[in-house]
């Protein structure tokens, strides 16, 4: 039934889609491609739909979620859809007082700085996000053989927003807690890992066929601190999600020195930003992993000849990996020309079959 997370229920065309095959490190007819933040950025049809609707409200309306998730799939020959939501949605759903302010990002009314603040992060029940279940079910039906990627925030990144109270450059209060109050830090990270596990389970139960953990800002910590203060929590997330039988992707920005440890944390696919060439990433990540990435999103503002040359270079280096999912090294930048993304998706398909 629709709540059965076992992949036995998956249609053969979906199970054998190039994206899911590449995640499993199986041979593919062409290199699969999707773009982080492909939904809800620059598309005019998105901006029209969102007019007058606050970000977090749009994430609670199944009709909007379905439409926004499908928009890039209609425009681009992408091999996967990513669920339209935000990493802050599960926090909002459990009652954390937060808003997503246009041009700023997530803002928390009462940042967590002590033991008493921990109580705000209670366990997530599926009923708290029934709109997510409804939207994923609708999408799984509409998408057919195109996989839907569910996602959640990684614990360091969620902790950073909660402790800082909003976007942060240096994550200094977050690190102050990590260094100065390790028991409080572990308790907070444990609760956030539980939240991420619960949110990913809801999405897979409703029909998502892969999951990505966006620990976007974890590149702020050293390998030693990652191993001591983050890895135990991300390992638990990937171990808990393993039983669902869908590929697990792990991504962060500026994580060149952490790639090996991020692989150790247990995902099937390690996301690589644009700073580390993929053939070098292959050397840093343990065997038995696929890689995802990693064209610099800024290259899309260069002349097409440059975009093509750099995309071909990413594909060539990606061939040294056991499996490669083509992506940007971070999200689509808001002023990116959708036509360039469309051309890029086609190029990845053509060039990888040459
Ligand atoms: O393809 C998609 O865009 C899917 C939907 C999606 C995803 C995957 C959104 C919608 N947000 C996210 C993940 C997300 N949210 C991440 C991880 C990915 C990444 O690193 O880009 C992070 C760090 C956030 C937090 C967040 N939400 C920010 C960043 C702020 C900062 O610290 O610099 C911002 C600006 C948001 C708002 C947001 N989320 C999504 C949209 C479309 C928007 C803009 C909404 C608006 O202002 O109207």
Q: What is the tens place of the pLDDT at every residue in 156-199?
A: 999 999 999 999 999 999 999 999 999 999 999 999 999 999 99
Q: What is residue 9's predicted lDDT score, i.e. its pLDDT?
A: 72
| Residue of 33, 36, 38, 40 best suited for mutating to test ligand 1, as the one with most atoms within 8 Å of CB | 40
* Cα 59 to ligand 1 centroid, rounded to whole Å: 11
Residue 309 is among the residues annotated as catalytic for this protein: no
* Distance from the alpha carbon of residue 12 to the mean position of ligand 1, in angstroms: 32
HEC letters along 100-156: EECCCEEEECCCCCCHHHHHHCCCCCHHHHHHHHHHHHHHHHHHCCCCEEEEEECHH
Q: Is 30 annotated as a binding residue?
A: no
Atom of ligand 1 nearest to the CA of 41: 42
Nearest CA to ligand 1 atom 37: 105
Active site residue 50: yes
| 161 annotated as belonging to a binding site for a ligand | yes
Q: Which tokens in the block code for residue 302?
A: 């260069």
| 35: nearest Cα among 75, 89, 88, 87 | 75
**Which tens digits make up the pLDDT trace of 40-95?**
887 999 999 999 999 999 999 999 999 999 999 999 999 999 999 999 999 999 99
Catalytic annotation on 86?
A: yes
User: What is the distance between the terminal CA atoms of the chain, rounded to a whole angstrom?
Assistant: 40
The CA 86 to ligand 1 mean position distance, Å, reads 6
- Is 52 marked as binding a ligand? no
Q: Whose CA is nearest to atom 10 of ligand 1?
A: 86
Residue nearest to atom 17 of ligand 1 (CA): 214
The annotation status of 40 as a binding-site residue, yes or no, is: yes
Does 41 appear as a known binding residue?
A: yes
Q: Of these residues, 21, 76, 79, 86, which one is catalytic? A: 86
CATH hierarchy code of domain 7-351: 3.20.20.210
Q: Is the CB of 216 under 6 A from ligand 1?
A: yes
Q: Which atom of ligand 1 is nearest to the CA of 168?
A: 32
In this structure, the residue with its CA closest to atom 20 of ligand 1 is 216
Could you tell me if residue 36 is left (phi over 0), alpha (psi between -120 and 50 degrees) or otherwise beta? beta
pTM metric for this prediction: 0.96
The Cα–Cα gap between 226 and 218 comes to 8
Specify whether 183 is catalytic: no
Mutate to test the pocket of ligand 1, among 86, 208, 272 (most ligand atoms within 8 A of CB): 86
**Residue 7: what pLDDT?**
44
> Is 37 annotated as belonging to a binding site?
yes
Which whole-number Å values give the CA distances from 222 to 9, 162, 228, 261, in the listed order?
A: 41, 21, 10, 11
Extract the residue ranges of the chain whose pLDDT is less than 50: 1-8
E strands in the chain: 81-82, 98-101, 105-108, 148-153, 210-214, 248-251, 269-271, 290-295, 324-328
Integer Cα distance of 125 and 199 in angstroms = 9
CB contact set of 241 (below 8 Å; sequence gap of 6+)? 197, 200, 201, 204, 211, 248
Query: What is the CA angle 51-131-46, rounded to 5?
Result: 25
In this predicted structure, what is the pLDDT of residue 41? 85
Instruction: Indicate which atom in ligand 1 lies nearest the CA of residue 46.
Output: 42
ipTM (interface pTM): 0.91
- For ligand 1, the distance from its centroid to the CA atom of residue 100, given in whole angstroms, is 9
Domain map (residue ranges) of the chain: 7-351
Tell me what pLDDT residue 139 has.
98
């Amino acid at each position: 039934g629709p709540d059965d997370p076992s992949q036995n229920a998956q249609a053969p065309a979906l199970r054998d889609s190039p994206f899911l095959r590449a995640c499993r490190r199986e041979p593919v007819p062409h290199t699969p491609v999707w773009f982080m933040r492909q939904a809800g950025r620059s598309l005019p049809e998105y901006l029209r739909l969102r007019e007058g609707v606050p970000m977090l409200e749009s994430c609670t309306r199944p009709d909007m979620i379905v439409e926004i998730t499908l928009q890039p799939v209609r425009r681009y020959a992408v091999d996967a859809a990513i669920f339209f939501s935000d990493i802050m949605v599960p926090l909002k759903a459990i009652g954390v007082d937060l808003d997503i302010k246009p041009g700023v990002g997530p803002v928390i009314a009462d940042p967590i700085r002590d033991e008493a603040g921990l109580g705000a992060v209670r366990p997530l029940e599926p009923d708290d996000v029934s709109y997510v279940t409804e939207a994923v079910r609708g999408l799984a039906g509409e998408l057919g053989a195109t996989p839907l990627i569910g996602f959640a925030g990684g614990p360091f990144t969620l902790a950073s927003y909660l402790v800082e109270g909003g976007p942060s450059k240096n994550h200094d209060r977050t690190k102050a807690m990590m260094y100065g109050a390790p028991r409080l830090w572990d308790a907070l990270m444990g609760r956030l890992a539980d939240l991420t596990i619960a949110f990913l389970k809801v999405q897979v139960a409703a029909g998502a066929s892969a999951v990505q953990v966006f620990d976007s800002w974890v590149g702020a910590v050293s390998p030693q601190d990652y191993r001591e203060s983050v890895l135990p929590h991300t390992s638990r997330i990937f171990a808990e999600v393993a039983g669902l039988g869908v590929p697990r992707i792990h991504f962060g920005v500026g994580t060149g020195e952490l790639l090996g440890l991020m692989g150790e944390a247990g995902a099937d696919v390690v996301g690589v930003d644009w700073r580390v060439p993929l053939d070098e990433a292959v050397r840093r990540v343990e065997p038995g992993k696929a890689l995802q990435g990693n064209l610099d999103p800024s290259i899309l503002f260069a002349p097409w000849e440059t975009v093509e040359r750099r995309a071909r270079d990413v594909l060539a280096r990606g061939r040294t990996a056991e499996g490669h999912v083509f992506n940007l090294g971070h999200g689509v930048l808001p002023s990116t020309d959708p036509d360039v993304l469309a051309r890029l998706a086609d190029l990845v398909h053509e060039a990888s079959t040459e």
